[in-house]
Amino acid sequence: MRLKKIISLIFIIVCVFDLSACTNAETDLDFVQNDNSSEKELSAWISYWDMDKGIKELSRAGDKFSSVSVFALYFNNDGSIYIPSQITDKYSEISGITYKKNINLYVCIVNDVIDEAGNITQKDSNVIRKIISDPNKRAEHINSLISFAVNNKYFGIEIDYEKLEDDLWPNFVLFCEELSKKCAEKNIDLRIILEPRAPIDRYSLPDGPEYIMMAYNLYGLSTEPGPKADADFIKELSQKMNNLSGKKWFAFATGGFDWQEGGNTSDVTETEALDIINIHSSLPARDEKSGCLYFYYTDEKGKDHTVWYADNVTLDLWKKIAGECGVNNVCLWRLGGNVSETIDQFTAK
């Protein structure tokens, strides 16, 4: 770890003499081509656990987002829909902003499960298996989603069912087809969110829905330190998306991760990363391949840490790479915990 710090310090010293090499992504990463397409849409998620910060950033962004999605509904143990109280409490405030600024409002449902004691299991494929493998339960679930969206005047629904085993995909495709037809009948938009590992090269998803590819967590909670995305990762996913019909989106993530050597890894927002830098007087460097910033520090217990995170320069680079690949519509995970320059740069046309 000490060697890494020395290397990072040398890199920073070099950058002092050539500041543009550390701050200008266009200079460092000159393989990025300008995207001249006029059809570009921006969307973002607001999470139920960080509503106030997300709403504040949404208000600041004005009408530059074409849509915003509330994240997220999930499931009770019995497969019924669970609605976090924060979504109900903040609905009027969010819908008031989106109505005033002519932003389409979506609601997202994810396959997390909450039990009677309030414990949450994330990305539980079993609850989805029980629902979509049974035609009656599948129809009941679809009707529940439609009813919630209609009754609460949402413009659209997003499906974020992750970590599905391969044998579930034929029924998942069938579920998407049936939900798409019901949404069309009620004039509700439908988006399907896809993980990078989704086997869309082997299963044909239906026409009708829009598709969002999660272009993040290349490195994350269960990996060694590294960026959430880089150029090769985005280009590889864009090729995989060629099998999808209809409108396509890339989803990029703000913030990053803090890896403790020999310990736990935790999420960090951009503002949290900057706080760590200030507290420990760290010297961040920019990775050329991903555009991300990274730095090292030692905590008060003597544990060494590595942090990678995205800022406005990073997101601008990722958007340009996506445009170069022909995908101009971009979603941001997520509003909340970002500095104003990052939101301003992300929403710049």
What pLDDT does 6 receive? 41
Average pLDDT value for residue range 75-85: 97
As a whole number of angstroms, the distance between CA 218 and CA 256 comes to 11
**CA distances to 239, 247, 253 from 35, in Å:** 17, 17, 21
Count the Cβ atoms, other than its own, within 10 Å of residue 310. 26
Q: Does residue 265 carry a pLDDT above 50?
A: yes
HSE, CB side, 13 Å, CA atoms: give it for residue 54: 25
CATH topology of domain 40-257+312-346: TIM Barrel (3.20.20)
Q: How large a percentage of the chain has pLDDT more than 70?
A: 89
- pLDDT category, 104, cuts 50, 70, 90? very high
Tokens at 289, concatenated: 């391949």
| pTM, entire model | 0.89
Task: Return d(Cα 230, Cα 241) in angstroms, integer.
Answer: 17
Query: Which residue ranges make up each domain of the chain?
Result: 40-257+312-346
Distance (Å) of CA 29 to CA 8, 289, 344, 349: 19, 7, 21, 20
Question: What is d(CA 122, CA 110) in angstroms, rounded to the nearest whole number?
Answer: 9
Interval 32-44: pLDDT, tens: 333 334 479 999 9
